[in-house]
Amino acid sequence: MLIGVPKEIKNHEYRVGLTPSSVRELTAHGHTVKIETMAGAGIGCSDEDYVAAGAEIVGTAAEIFTTAEMVIKVKEPQKVEYEQLREGQLLFTYLHLAPDPDQTAGLIKSGVTAIAYETVTDRNGGLPLLAPMSEVAGRMAPQVGAAALQKANGGRGMLLGGVPGVAPAKVVVIGGGVVGTNAARIAAGMGADVTILDKNVKRLTYIDDVFGPRIKTQYATIDDTEALVFDADMVVGAVLIPGAAAPKLIRREQLARMKPGSVIVDVAIDQGGCFETSKATTHADPTYIVDDVVHYCVANMPGAVARTSTFALNNATLPFALALANKGWKQACKEDPHLAAGLNVHNGKITYQAVADALGYDNLPLDKALS
Ligand SMILES: NC(=O)C1=CN([C@@H]2O[C@H](COP(=O)(O)OP(=O)(O)OC[C@H]3O[C@@H](n4cnc5c(N)ncnc54)[C@H](O)[C@@H]3O)[C@@H](O)[C@H]2O)C=CC1
Ligand SMILES: CC(=O)C(=O)O
Ligand SMILES: [Mg+2]
């Protein structure tokens, strides 16, 4: 199969779809890999590194989009990218379609077959291609939030861990999945007073078993979510209903009851965010203030630590990329229902129920898409 990797073009996005090691695996299986020149520059991998792994370097993204049978990326295609996709081509990347009607319409119009990293499943009910980036974003959340808490950045002027004789900051994490536990772990490590809210009691039990009294857990009723958020110095938004738009847990009118200078890090922003006042920001201009509350809503947080993130992502994506290249997408999905769960768009139709529901499309059932 001819596989193509364009250079990412989202704001301050330095990750790349394939590492040189992944290229070597794919070429060893007889596939041809084209990489756009300088695609790996942001992770310290040169064109020469890719050539040594067996890739061909091409000068423009257009050469990738016009020739590749499978396009492997990191972030959702931007307008100039989805306009180049076409019927019969396979796209393997993050999509986050539910909060993104324009991209969704663009993918439908293109006729492309698109498999979204974030809805591929595993046998334990996890999301194995989202998890590595959730680990990164979760671990970053307290560090970006700690900076936002500084006075010059609009925050309350608090040190996360306090000092002897002065209490630490109160950090509330809504959603105790991969992002949430990683955020809590780092915040607790920095000395903060940390509470995780979740609606899944089994998950709260797991967190309690792993962290003991160092991290408090609370069932996420409306009452308790509100009480903890109003009393927090930093809130991390980390909920997910796979494929769906994030539920809005804190409304516009509730925001004014948060402390002045408190900080929201809404990691769930790639699915639309769990605060009504959240709107996606970029690494170039990551925060804004509403009602004296600092909002950090960068939708591609792991792009900031592109080298760590790219290697972590490839560890997870490579087996699936190999299956898609070796067997073709249809056969690979027939043999692996977890990979098939990633199918979001095929031949002008939405094939993922939560996306169809969020945006008002008919859903093409998976068995029909695979027939
Ligand atoms: N902004 C960024 O750069 C990045 C964003 N993300 C996003 O972070 C979000 C979280 O991802 P993961 O932690 O991997 O998901 P996950 O599935 O591991 O965890 C989500 C948790 O939210 C809980 N939950 C769902 N509804 C809830 C509610 N109403 N109240 C309280 N808890 C609720 C679930 O029970 C689950 O434990 C996703 O939207 C993901 O796409 C992930 C990586 C990078
Ligand atoms: C998951 C995601 O949105 C990211 O890694 O950028
Ligand atoms: Mg206020």
- Residue nearest (by alpha carbon) to ligand 2 atom 6: 300
Please report the sign of the dihedral spanned by the C-alpha atoms of residue 149, residue 152, residue 156, residue 158.
positive
252, 268, 299 - which closes a domain: 299
Ligand 1 centre to CA of 281 (Å) is 18
- Residue nearest (by alpha carbon) to ligand 1 atom 19: 177
Q: Which of 78, 135, 270, 309 gets mutated to test ligand 2 (max ligand atoms within 8 A of its CB)?
A: 270
pLDDT digits (tens, 9 = 90+) for 273-316: 999 999 999 999 999 999 999 999 999 999 999 999 999 999 99
User: Contact 336/111 with Cβ under 8 angstroms?
Assistant: no
pLDDT band at 337 (very low <50, low <70, confident <90, very high): very high
Are residues 204 and 342 both part of a single domain? no
Q: What is the CATH number of the domain that holds 310?
A: 3.40.50.720
- Residue nearest (by alpha carbon) to ligand 2 atom 4: 300
Q: Which atom of ligand 1 is least distant from the CA of 240?
A: 20
- Among the listed residues 208, 279, 259, 269, the one whose alpha carbon sits nearest the alpha carbon of residue 236: 269
Quote the pLDDT of residue 193. 98
Quote the pLDDT of residue 296. 98
CA distance 355 to 237: 21
Are residues 357 and 228 both part of a single domain? no
Which residues does the annotation mark as catalytic? 96, 270
What's the structural domain count of the chain? 2
CA distance 155 to 292: 8
Ligand 3 centre to CA of 300 (Å) is 27
Are residues 112 and 25 both part of a single domain? yes
- Residue nearest (by alpha carbon) to ligand 1 atom 18: 177
Are residues 256 and 188 both part of a single domain? yes
299, 325, 358 - which closes a domain: 299
pLDDT digits (tens, 9 = 90+) for 54-84: 999 999 999 999 999 999 999 999 999 999 9
Q: Is 270 in the pocket of ligand 2 (CB under 6 A)?
A: yes
Residue spans of beta strands (DSSP E) within 94-223? 113-116, 170-174, 193-198, 215-219
Are residues 103 and 198 both part of a single domain? no
pLDDT digits (tens, 9 = 90+) for 217-236: 999 999 999 999 999 999 99
Are residues 287 and 141 both part of a single domain? yes
Long-range contacts of 18-21 (CB under 8 A, 24+ apart): 18/72, 18/314, 18/321, 19/43, 19/45, 19/310, 19/311, 19/314, 20/45, 20/49, 20/50, 20/52, 20/53, 20/55, 21/53, 21/314
Compute the average pLDDT of residues 85-92. 98
pLDDT digits (tens, 9 = 90+) for 93-110: 999 999 999 999 999 999
Are residues 294 and 146 both part of a single domain? yes
Quote the pLDDT of residue 148. 98
Ligand 1 centre to CA of 290 (Å) is 23
Q: Is 198 in the pocket of ligand 1 (CB under 6 A)?
A: yes
Are residues 154 and 230 both part of a single domain? yes
Residue 343: inside a domain: yes
Residue 59: inside a domain: yes
Q: Which of 130, 140, 251 gets mutated to test ligand 1 (max ligand atoms within 8 A of its CB)?
A: 130
Are residues 112 and 144 both part of a single domain? no
Q: Is 300 in the pocket of ligand 2 (CB under 6 A)?
A: yes
Quote the pLDDT of residue 174. 98
Ligand 1 centre to CA of 51 (Å) is 38
Residue 126: inside a domain: no
Q: Which atom of ligand 2 is least distant from the CA of 130?
A: 1
Are residues 90 and 144 both part of a single domain? no
Residue 124: inside a domain: no
Are residues 162 and 195 both part of a single domain? yes
Are residues 295 and 318 both part of a single domain? no
Q: What is the residue range of 266's domain?
A: 131-299
pLDDT band at 245 (very low <50, low <70, confident <90, very high): very high
Ligand 2 centre to CA of 16 (Å) is 12
